[in-house]
Structure 1
Amino acid sequence: MIDTLIFDFGDVFINLDKQGAMQNALNLFKMETFEKDMITTNMLYEVGKITTEEFIEFYKLKFPYLEDQQIVKAWNYILRDFPKYRLEFLQKIAQENRYKIILLSNTNDMHIDYIKSNISFYEEFKGCFDAFYLSQEIQLRKPNQEVFDFVLENNNLNPEHCFFVDDTKENTDMAESLGIKVWNIDETREDVIDLFNLKNIYF
């Protein structure tokens, strides 16, 4: 029996434009592909190993023609709208008090700052969760097993009683290997509000 719901954030609640953001950044950097040091820096930032200031400084040194705000804007380009009906769906689950609700997201400070400034109901959203884990704060990221172990241990959870929703197959594959039931949501044709209509899942 499922007693805990673990949700990703991007492309589960807030819509993302991954391809658009990638192309926008490549255009800005005047490149055809990201270089290894850029990918490494992005990963370090996402797990809090470097600060926002250090992240921006890296890109300014690499691309001296860029201003701080151009880098910030390019980094946040991926973030799109957050349909309020998804908040209402989550609030209904929280009000029913049948499940422990956890957010587990690979999210960094710049993205959260942008969301706080542009999504009027962010605090209401956050308030629906019993635990709210962002990769930069806990210095762990999906799909590494350590982050799932961290969530399970810190909340005293039985993986077989947990259900995890994420748009990235690597992440759901790792969770599933630990005994967690999963939904690798396809954001192009599925919506988190249909969670309880899934077949073969016993909520």
Structure 2
Amino acid sequence: MIKNIIFDFGDIFINLDKEIVFRKILKYGNATLAPEVLALSSAFEVGAITPETFIKRLNTIFPKVSTQEIITIWNAMLLDFPDYRLDFLESLAHENEYRLFLLSNTNALHIDEVIQIMGKPKYNRFKNCFEQFYLSHEIQLRKPNADIYKFVLQENKLKPSETLFIDDTFENTDAANQLGIKTWHLRVGQEDIIQLKSRL
């Protein structure tokens, strides 16, 4: 029986264009630099480097791109957060049938932009639906590494067999599944989080 639900954020609640950053920024440099940019992004996601250091290093890789252009391009992947999804989540939280958690690979620049996109009141409504709101750059852990799932389970005394984890990336759900956590690999464009009740 599912008692706990852990949600991803991007493409579960807020819509994303995950490839736009590399489509845009690689116009200013050699595509072979992509692994270096990915490594930099991973370090930024776990708070290992500050936004200032992250931007400065990208400036070094792409010297033709201004600081403001880097921030704009980096945040371009964040699209809209449909109201119907927030309404669904608030209804689920109000029912108080499940313990709800958020677990997201999110960096400091992105979360600031999310607040701008949603507006502070709507963002607070969203955040208040969860018992715990875990962002990778704050807890210095990221999916799909097993330690992030163990951290959430132990921190909240959750049993894997009673916990459902929802994410749009197979690597992430597969890693959670290997720890005994129930999973839903949500297929973006084919499924929507508001179909959750039919999965429980």
User: With structure 1 as the length reference, what TM-score do the two structures score?
Assistant: 0.94
* Structure-to-structure mapping, 1:30-179, within 5 angstroms: 30-120=29-119, 121-179=122-180
Deviations 1:163-193 (A, max 9, x none): 0110000000011111111100001111000
**Normalising by the residue count of structure 2, what TM-score does the alignment of the two structures yield?**
0.95
Q: Structure 1 residue 23: deviation in Å? A: 1.0
Secondary structure at the aligned position of 1:34 is classed as helix
In 2, Cα distance between the equivalents of 1:118 and 1:9? 14
Q: How many residues end up aligned between the 2 structures?
A: 198
Match of residue 181 from structure 1:
182
CA deviation map 1:37-56 (0-9, x unaligned): 32211111010000000001
Matching residue's letter, 1:91: E
Matched, 1:194 2:195: yes
Give me the whole-angstrom Cα distance separating, in 2, the residues matched to 1:111 and 1:168: 18
Alignment partners' CA distance in 2, 1:160 and 1:176: 10
Q: What do you get for the CA RMSD once the two structures are aligned?
A: 1.1
Aligned AA (2:76): Y
Given that residues 26 and 33 in structure 1 are in contact (C-alpha distance below 8 angstroms), is that contact kept between their aligned partners in structure 2? no
Letter aligned with residue 12 of structure 1: I
Deviations 1:1-33 (A, max 9, x none): 111010000000000011233212222x23334
Distance in 2 between residues matched to 1:153 and 1:160, nearest whole Å: 14
Structure-2 change in CA distance of 1:63 and 1:20 (3 Å): closer
Where in structure 2 are there 5+ consecutive unaligned residues? none
Show the counterpart of 2:12: 12
Letter in 1 for 2:113: Y
- Please tell me whether the aligned partners of residues 80 and 117 of structure 2 are also in contact (alpha carbons under 8 angstroms): no
2:6 aligned counterpart, secondary structure = strand
Q: Distance between the aligned counterparts of 1:34 and 1:196, measured in 2?
A: 43
Q: C-alpha separation between the residues in 1 aligned to 2:49 and 2:20?
A: 25
Distance 1:60 1:156 in 2: 43
Deviations 1:33-87 (A, max 9, x none): 4343322111110100000000011011222222111010111111111101000
Mapped partners of 1:87, 1:35: distance in 2: 34
What do residues 142-164 of structure 1 show as CA deviations (whole Å, max 9, x unaligned)?
Answer: 00000000000000000000001
- Looking at structure 2, the residues matched to 63 and 34 of structure 1 have their Cα atoms a distance apart, in angstroms, of 10
Code of the residue aligned with 1:62 in structure 2: it is: I
The list of structure 1 runs, each at least 4 consecutive aligned residues, that deviate by more than 6 angstroms after superposition, is: none
- Measure, in 1, the Cα distance between the counterparts of 2:104 and 2:186: 15
User: Which deviations, in whole Å up to 9, do the C-alpha atoms of 1:73-128 show, x marking residues without a partner?
Assistant: 11111111110100000000110111110000000110000011111211110010
Task: Identify unmatched segments of 5+ residues in structure 1.
Answer: none
CA distance in structure 2 between the partners assigned to 1:21 and 1:58 by the alignment: 16
